[in-house]
Amino acid sequence: MPEAPPEILFLRTMHPLIEAAFAGRFTVHRLAEAADPEARLTEIGARIRGLCVGGQVDAALMDRLPNLEIIANFGVGYDAVDAVEAHRRGIVVTNTPDVLTDEVADLAVGLVLATLRRLPQADRYLRAGHWPKAPFPLTASLRERRVGILGLGRIGRAIARRLESFGVEIDYHGRRPQADVPYAYHDSLIGLARAVHILIVVAPGGAGTKSLVDAPVLQALGPEGILVNVARGSLVDEAALIAALRTGTILGAGLDVFENEPHVPADLAALDNTVLLPHVGSASEHTRAAMAQLVVDNVVSWFEGRGPLTPVAETPWSPHA
C-alpha cells in the first residue's frame, strides 16, 4: 500500500504557484478557509509535517503541531518565526533569499529618488491643475549627497551597487566591517547618521533591532536628511520619526514598511514630506513567482530526503547531522 502523502498546513492563502505545485503531491490544509480554525487545528495538528507561512509562528503554534518538520517562510525576512525555538525542537526553517534581492534594491533606489525629488507630490500638483498657475517648487537633489546603508547584506549590497552609478559616496553600518567592499564603515549607527545625508534601512527585524532608528539617530541625520526604510517597520521608532518630520529635524522619509502593518498612523499619512508605500518591495509578479518556487523547492527537497535548500542561520542543516 503506497505511503500517504505528507500533510502540509497553510496558515493563509498562498501563491497560486505553490497551490499548483503541491496539488497531488501533498495533502494541503488551509486554515484560513476553516469555519472554525481552532477546532480544525486541534483536529489535524498532530498530522501536520510541513508549514507554509508568511506570518507569525511562535512556540504556542508549534505546540499544536507536535510532528512538524519544516517551516517554509514566504519571504526573506523571518523575524515573525521563532527560529530559535524551532531549532530547539528539531524543526528546520527556510526562507527565500536572493530571488527578491534585485526587486527590493530597485524599489529602494526608486524610493530614494521619489522622496528627494518629491515625485508623488509633483504628480498630485499636476493632477490638481496647479501647474498653469506656478511651477512646482524646487526640490532637494541626489547631487553631492552621501548615502548610508544600515545592514550591508545581500539587499544592502545590491542597493549600494546601484547607487554607485549615481556617483554618490556610500557608507555603512552593521555588526562588523566587511573587507570585500570599498565603502566606509561606521561602528555606530549614530556615527553613520551623522556622516550621511540619506539613511537607507535594510537590516533584519526582530527584538535585537527594535526602534534602532530612534530620536537621537534622526537628530544626527539632520535637517537635510532623508530616511528610507525597505526592511521592517519595527526598526524605526515611528513616533520619533513623526516628530522629526513635523519639526524639520529631518527633511523627509520614504517608507515601504511600518510598525503595525497594514495600519499606518494617520499622523504619518498626513505629512507631505513623506512617500509611503504599502510594503511592495518584492511585489512584482516575476519576483513573487520566484519566491513561491523557492518555497516549493524547499518543501519538496525536504520530503524527498535531500534536505532544505535555504535553511536560515538559526536552523542549520547538514546531511550528516
Cell, residue 114: 521619489
DSSP 26: B
Cell, residue 94: 527556510
To the query of whether residue 279 is one of the catalytic residues in this protein, the response is: yes
CA 40 to chain centre: 30
What does the alpha-carbon distance between residue 196 and residue 146 come to, in Å, rounded to a whole number? Answer: 5
Q: In what order do the strands lie in the sheet containing 274-276?
A: 184-185, 169-173, 146-150, 198-201, 226-229, 252-255, 274-276
Q: Is there a contact between 122 and 174 (Cβ–Cβ < 8 Å)?
A: no
Residue 237 is which amino acid? Answer: D
Which among 232, 238, 259, 288 is annotated as catalytic? 232
To the query of whether residue 261 is one of the catalytic residues in this protein, the response is: yes
Cell, residue 72: 517554509
To the query of whether residue 87 is one of the catalytic residues in this protein, the response is: no
Q: Is there a contact between 202 and 149 (Cβ–Cβ < 8 Å)?
A: yes
What does the alpha-carbon distance between residue 72 and residue 120 come to, in Å, rounded to a whole number? Answer: 36
Residue 283 is which amino acid? Answer: A
Apex 177 CA angle, 171 and 180, nearest 5: 85
What does the alpha-carbon distance between residue 145 and residue 166 come to, in Å, rounded to a whole number? Answer: 10
Which among 25, 64, 146, 279 is annotated as catalytic? 279
Which among 33, 38, 224, 261 is annotated as catalytic? 261
Q: Is there a contact between 228 and 198 (Cβ–Cβ < 8 Å)?
A: yes
What does the alpha-carbon distance between residue 168 and residue 172 come to, in Å, rounded to a whole number? Answer: 13
Strand pairing class (252-255; 7-10): unpaired
Where does the chain show beta strands of DSSP type E? 7-10, 27-30, 48-53, 70-73, 92-94, 146-150, 169-173, 184-185, 198-201, 226-229, 252-255, 274-276
Residue 253 is which amino acid? Answer: A
Q: Which residues are catalytic?
A: 232, 261, 279
